[in-house]
Every structure is written in C-alpha cells, then in structure tokens.
Amino acid sequence: MGRAKLPRKSTNIDMTAMCDVAFLLLSFFILATKFKPPEALSVVTPSSVSTKVAPEKNVVLITIDKDGKVYLSVSDANMPEKKAMIEEINTSKNIGLSEQEKNNFVRIPNAYIGAPFSQLKSYLDRTPEQLMKVVKPGIPAVDSTNNEMVDWFKAAADAFTGKKMDIVVKGDDASKYPALQGVIIALKKNDLMKFQVVTSPIPAPVGSELYNLQQKTGTKSSEQQ
Amino acid sequence: MDTSGGGGHKKGPGVKKGKKLSTRVDLTPMVDLGFLLITFFIFTTTMSQPTAMRLYLPKDVKNPDEQNKVKNSAVITLMLAKQDKIYYYEGDDPSKLQQTDFKKVRDIVVDKKKRTDPKDFVVILKPSVDATYKNTVNILDEMTIDGVKRYAMVDISPVEYNFIKLTEVANGIK
C-alpha cells in the first residue's frame, strides 16, 4: 500500500454567495420592470436621436398601422376630455350614440377609435373583448375630401381647452407617407402646429454634427429649437 | 459541506446527547428559483422608453408675397421614393436629379452645407406617395443629426414625381 491517498474533497459548493447575487438581480429587475400594457395594435416605431421621453398624460395618440390605417385614442387619465370629445362628435355628426356606447369609449383603457363616423355606432357597440378581435377599418384620413381626422382634432382641441394637449403620432415603419400627410393636413386645418412623433431612441452617429455638439456641451439633448 | 445533519461519534453507554443538527441549508433550489425569476423579468422588462420627436408645422401662407423666399443656389431638395431611395437636386431644376440612399445622404447634405452661406441654407424635403413613414421620420431625424437649422417638408409636385418615375423606370425599380 504505497499509494498516496488523495484526500477526498467535497463537490458541494457554498451557495450562499450565489444566492445573494441571484436575489439582488431579481429585486433589481422586479423594481425596474414596467409591464407593457396589452396593445391592441402592434406598431414598430422608427428610431431617432431624440432624447425626450414620450409624454403619457394629456395625450391624443394617433396610431398609424402598417397598412396605413389611422386610429385615435386618448390617454386613460383624461376621462372627462374623452367624454367631451365623444359628446361633441355625437352631436355634430348626428350619430345617435347611446350612453352605453359612449361609455364604451370613455371607460375602456386604450380604447381605439378605428372606424369612420358612419360605422362608429356599431363599432362602439361591441365589448372590449370583441373590439380586440374585430378587423378595424380605421379613420378615413388619406382622402382629402373626406378627412375625418379634421373633426376628431377639432373635438380634441375643444375638449382640452385650457389644458396642455400633446398630439402624439405613432406610426409603423412600413406605413406609407400619405397616411401621415393626411394627419398633418388635418392638424393644420385645426391650427394645431405642434405634434410629436414616437420613436425608439438611438445614439447620435459618431462624427456627425449633432454628435460633436453633444460632446462639446456634455448634454444628451438633441433639441435644437 | 455536509448537509446530512449532525451524526457523529459514538458516546459511551448511558450518555445521552441530543443530536447536533447543522444549521446549514441546501441553497441550490433557492438559487434555481432565483435565476428562474430573473430570466422571467429580464424577458418581460422594457428598458428603453419610447422617445418623442417634436415637429413644428409651418402655417400655410396663401399670399405669395408673404412666403419665405429662398435663394436658388442655397437650396437642396431631397425627394423620398420607393425602396428607401432618395432623389436630390440643387437649385430649382428637378431634371438634374441624382439618386442616393439613406446611408449616403448625410455626406450630401453636409457637403452642400459647407458650400453654402449658413444663413441661406435650406433643405426641402419632399416625401412622395411611395415613401414610407420610416423614411419620413428618418429624414427629419437626419436634419437634426446634421444640424440643419432650416428645413421644410413640402408636398411633391407632379413634375418632380414624373422625373422620379422616369428615373425609376430607367433603373428598373418597380
């Protein structure tokens, strides 16, 4: 028995440290996470060097999907304005919505208006679950003789009188320019000269003028105006 | 690490001693669970918040006398067309249009900017009906990147659109 015996080492490791790290990371992600609200419309936004965070309150959101259909929604925090908008449209366009149908628009979070005035009554007649599934025709905006966005913007501007209103356009990469053009025309007709475009952030390209400016001033701001 | 708890040496008869249990717990399942949850949160989390690009629209001026006048030599017009192509010309002659794309447009704009008096320099953007929303936003963003102070988004004229069409046919773009 001249063989040297190696001491048998345990294969168990102390897990405490690893456990600590795991839970530290876990708590970070729990706190940092912000669940995406279930979106009825999936839109891939283009990227820009803008660093301003998109507003969330007092927002009139215009969504343009990949087929160029236009939808309108109002941020959930603004129920009175929503109510005022639908009332005004109801009266001016003689749609004859019932209380229930109006409430459907006001109460449902992320309620998208995605139908022309002629179909608005049957559109709002549905429950939220049904609305999710149904194929939405979109608000007519491309045709210059029948741009219903003009009326919607008018109603929105009236409803938000005395308050700051942010018009936010969220368009899909693949949608064509005429849809955006229709929205811009409708905005101009209502003298709403300011709007914002939702984008996903990218850094300024290295070597460009903006990049140099940011390096010089040490700010990340890309707002020049 | 021994987690099987106590165990040990034989004591003499009659000596009764409570088993010494180890206070160590096997943490492996806990770590497993921890990492499982981490993976879940990593996948569901949305780190980058969407940003917003501000745009200001000009007022439509009916009276030609009130319209802004620009020097022909200081103007470059970028027209957006199919397949992410950009057609551009300097001055007011659309027949001299040249083709470029989004990768090269920066050099063209910067080059024109260098050659022009800064207070006259104007970029005119004309998205055609074939341009996508992405093209439009990207070119507006390009203006910010290149530090162009004056630019305008204008509807394309039929003459210009015709020239684009002809060029596209010549280049075999459907």
B153-163: pLDDT as tens digits: 888 888 888 88
Assess B36–A contact: CB distance below 8 Å, yes or no: no
Contact B45 A33 (CB under 8 A): yes
Distance of alpha carbon B152 from alpha carbon A31, whole angstroms: 43
Considering only CA atoms, which of A64, A38, A35 is closest in space to residue A129?
A38
Contact A19 B30 (CB under 8 A): yes
How many CB pairs lie under 8 A apart between chains A and B?
178
* pLDDT band per the 50, 70, 90 thresholds, residue A39: low
Q: Greater confidence, B13 or A212?
A: A212
Q: Which of A25, A168, A210 is nearest residue B145 as measured by Cβ atoms?
A: A210
Q: Which of A78-87, B31-40, B160-169 has the lowest mean pLDDT?
A: A78-87
Q: Which of B27, B127, B128 is nearest residue A15 as measured by Cβ atoms?
A: B27
Q: Is the pLDDT of residue A225 over 60?
A: no
The predicted structure's pLDDT at residue B6: 45
Give SS3 for B22.
coil
Q: Is the pLDDT of residue A111 over 50?
A: yes
Distance of alpha carbon B156 from alpha carbon B167, whole angstroms: 16
Q: Which of B38, B42, B128 is nearest residue A22 as measured by Cβ atoms?
A: B38
CA distance B11 to chain A (A): 26
Chain B from 86 to 105: CB within 8 A of any A CB: none
The predicted structure's pLDDT at residue B61: 67
Contact B106 A205 (CB under 8 A): yes
Assess B26–A contact: CB distance below 8 Å, yes or no: yes
* pLDDT band per the 50, 70, 90 thresholds, residue A7: confident
Which residue on chain A is closest to B103 by alpha carbon? A205
Q: Give, for A182, the enclosing helix (H) or strand (E).
A: helix A177-189
Contact A29 B155 (CB under 8 A): no
Residues of A in contact with B58 (CB under 8 A): 193
Which pair of tokens denotes residue A176?
Answer: 């064509």
Give SS3 for A12.
coil
Q: Which of A12, A25, A174 is nearest residue B1 as measured by Cβ atoms?
A: A12
Contact A174 B133 (CB under 8 A): yes
Distance of alpha carbon B173 from alpha carbon B161, whole angstroms: 14
CA atoms within 13 Å, Cβ hemisphere of A79: 6
Q: Are A43 and B55 in contact (CB under 8 A)?
A: no
Chain B from 67 to 86: CB within 8 A of any A CB: 80
Question: To which residue do tokens 């009825």 refer?
Answer: A40
> What is the four-CA torsion angle of B68, B71, B74, B80, rounded to 10 degrees?
60
- Which residues does residue B122 pair with via DSSP β-bridges, in sequence order? B75
Considering only CA atoms, which of B49, B145, B134 is closest in space to residue A54?
B49
Task: Please work out, in degrees rounded to the nearest 5, the angle formed at the alpha carbon of residue A218 by the alpha carbons of A212 and A220.
Answer: 85
Residues of A in contact with B47 (CB under 8 A): 32
* pTM (predicted TM-score): 0.71
The predicted structure's pLDDT at residue B123: 84
Q: Which of A173-177, A203-207, B6-10, B159-163 has the lowest mean pLDDT?
A: B6-10
Long-range contacts of B163-170 (CB under 8 A, 24+ apart): B163/B87, B163/B94, B163/B95, B163/B97, B164/B79, B164/B81, B164/B87, B164/B97, B164/B128, B167/B87, B167/B97, B167/B99, B168/B81, B168/B82, B168/B85
Buried b or exposed e, range B33-66, using 16+ CB within 10 angstroms: ebbebbeebeeeeeeeebbbbbbebeeeeeeeee
- Give the strand pairing for B98-101 and B85-90: antiparallel
CA distance A126 to chain B (A): 30
Q: Is the pLDDT of residue A218 over 50?
A: yes
In this structure, what are the phi and psi dihedrals at residue A8, rounded to the nearest 5 degrees?
-80, 120
CA distance B48 to chain A (A): 8
pLDDT in tens, B26-40: 888 888 888 898 888
Alpha helices in B95-170 (DSSP H): 105-115, 133-145, 158-170
Mean pLDDT value of segment A205-213: 76
Distance of alpha carbon A113 from alpha carbon A148, whole angstroms: 12
In this structure, what are the phi and psi dihedrals at residue B2, rounded to the nearest 5 degrees?
-105, 120
pLDDT in tens, B55-93: 787 776 666 665 666 777 778 888 888 788 888 888 777
* pLDDT band per the 50, 70, 90 thresholds, residue A15: confident
Contact B35 A184 (CB under 8 A): no
Distance of alpha carbon A192 from alpha carbon B46, whole angstroms: 32
CA-based end-to-end distance of chain B = 72
Residues of A in contact with B27 (CB under 8 A): 15-16, 18-19
